[in-house]
Amino acid sequence: MRTILLLPFLVFSYIANAQSLPADKQATRETVNLYHNLQKLRQKGCMFGHQDDLAYGVHWKYVEGNSDLFEVTGDYPAVYGWELGGLELDSSKNLDAVPFDKMRLFIRQGYARGGVITISWHFTNPLTGKSAWDVGPGAVASILPGAAQHALYKSWLQKLAAFFVSLRGEHGEAIPVIFRPFHELNGNWFWWGKKWCTPNELQQLYRFTATYLRDSLQVHQLLYAFNTDRFANEAEYLERYPGDEWVDVIGFDIYQRNNNNAQFLQDADQMLTLLEKIANERNKLPALTEFGYGTLPDSTWWTSTLLPALHRHAISYALAWRNAGKSPQGRYEYYVPFKGEASAGNFLQFYKDPRTLFQKDITHEKLYAR
Ligand code: BMA
């Protein structure tokens, strides 16, 4: 009798649980916990992320414990972005000169503090051997199963897998990573971009990549992010989407490129509305996978423009791009304030807003625990 009464409940909870597993049904415990906790956390606020935060800032490189954000707020970001471009060539440094050995340690530090790790991959064009920006037709098709460069692509994924698997926490557990391959795929500036392959080819590539990492290489610490650049509507966003069973996080990248804050706010708001709708319908985590207003020409941008956009939505995280500093050509590139930078005071207000989440906010959330 009791069994009979319990049965529908058990079946129901089994289904509910199965539905809420990430794309990798064999994901490690920490990865599944992260996935569930992030679903809840987005109702509380939006985690602030920063690319390469611990490696360098506008005026420093590789100073232990340093971070431009830390110098401004006394706190680290909640999300740490890293980049693997170059790993496929056995380079000891990525395309932005970050040594992979150091990156591994930074990833461990961020994770040990309870932070979230996300990784992008600006990888080599497999047809030409040149950079990710070396565009042209045929590169995606060339690495699909059965095609000429497929074996090469598999060898690259093996190197990625070895790096992922080498990321271990204090107890030897695999560090969960939000992996964001083929980013900005509706743009034409990367070889996997819209103009250079069909939707079907991109989808095949995405599915093969996840399947190979997961089933052949036994990497079970990844949440998969699907990510476009700016987009006009739902149909454009989903044109190259590989399918719900392959994706955990959905996002887009957006940069402000002129001084029209109102326009940026309107654009961001519109896209975030669409993203949230798509995410809610499909039970995915919505994220602003990259954003920035290069060199921050408006000292009040954080509270006048970005914060209002974030306040209107329940977005998991927003990742600011890297504080590269001064290039050899003398051009500056940075997206978060550093000590003494004009928007630092305003950023502090943004930091104090209850709906922006930084390291201290999420350490006690214990995102990797049940
Ligand atoms: C771009 C710039 C480049 C960098 C690339 C990959 O947006 O920051 O300098 O090489 O990202 O990180």
Q: List pLDDT tens digits, range 175-199.
A: 999 999 999 999 999 999 999 999 9
What is 254-271 written as a DSSP string?
A: EEE-SS-HHHHHHHHHHH
- 16-20, 55-59, 146-150, 354-358 — which is least confidently predicted? 16-20
pTM (2 d.p.): 0.95
pLDDT of 238 strictly over 50: yes
Q: Is 245 a catalytic residue?
A: no
Q: Residue 133 in contact with residue 185, Cβ under 8 Å?
A: no
How confident is the model over 343-368, as pLDDT tens digits? 999 999 999 999 999 999 999 999 99
User: Could you give the angle at the alpha carbon of 186 between the alpha carbons of 210 and 260, nearest 5°?
Assistant: 130
Token reading at 205: 């590539």
Q: Please report the pLDDT score of residue 76 as a whole number.
A: 98
Neighbours of 75 (CB within 10 A): 16
Return the percentage of the chain with pLDDT > 70, whole number: 95
Cβ-based burial of 103 (10 A; exposed 0-12, middle 13-18, buried ≥19): buried
pLDDT band at 29 (very low <50, low <70, confident <90, very high): very high
Index of the ligand 1 atom closest to the CA of residue 95:
10
Residue 184 is among the residues annotated as catalytic for this protein: yes
Q: What is the per-residue pLDDT for 13?
A: 46
Which residues contact residue 213 at a Cβ distance below 8 angstroms, ignoring those fewer than 6 apart?
Answer: 157, 160, 161, 164, 219, 222
In the predicted model, what is the mean pLDDT of the chain?
95
Residue-level pLDDT at 20 = 87
Look at residue 8 in the predicted model and tell me its pLDDT. 54
Q: Please, are residues 32 and 39 in contact by the beta-carbon 8 Å criterion?
A: no
Question: What is the bridge-based pairing of β-strands 56-57 and 60-61?
Answer: antiparallel
At residue 78, what are phi and psi to the nearest 5 degrees? -85, -30
* Model confidence at 24: pLDDT above 60: yes
Q: Locate the ligand 1 atom nearest the alpha carbon of residue 327 and give its number.
A: 9
**Count of CB atoms situated within 10 Å of the CB of 238:** 16
Instruction: Tell me which of 83, 184, 201, 341 is the catalytic residue.
Output: 184
Where residue 227 falls (left for φ over 0; alpha for ψ -120 to 50; beta otherwise) is beta
DSSP 227: E
- Examine the pLDDT at 166 and tell me if it is beyond 70: yes
In this prediction, residues 77-99 reach a mean pLDDT of: 98
Protein residue whose Cα sits closest to atom 10 of ligand 1: 96
C-beta separation of 192 from 205 below 8 A: yes
User: What residues pair up with 286 in beta bridges, in sequence order?
Assistant: 250
Give me the residues paired with residue 293 across strands.
Answer: 256
Q: Residue 270: which pLDDT band, with cuts at 50, 70 and 90?
A: very high
Give pLDDT tens digits for 296-323.
999 999 999 999 999 999 999 999 999 9
Closest atom, ligand 1, to C-alpha of 333: 8
Residue with CA closest to ligand 1 atom 4: 96
Residues at CB less than 6 angstroms from ligand 1? 83, 95-96, 122, 321-322, 324, 333
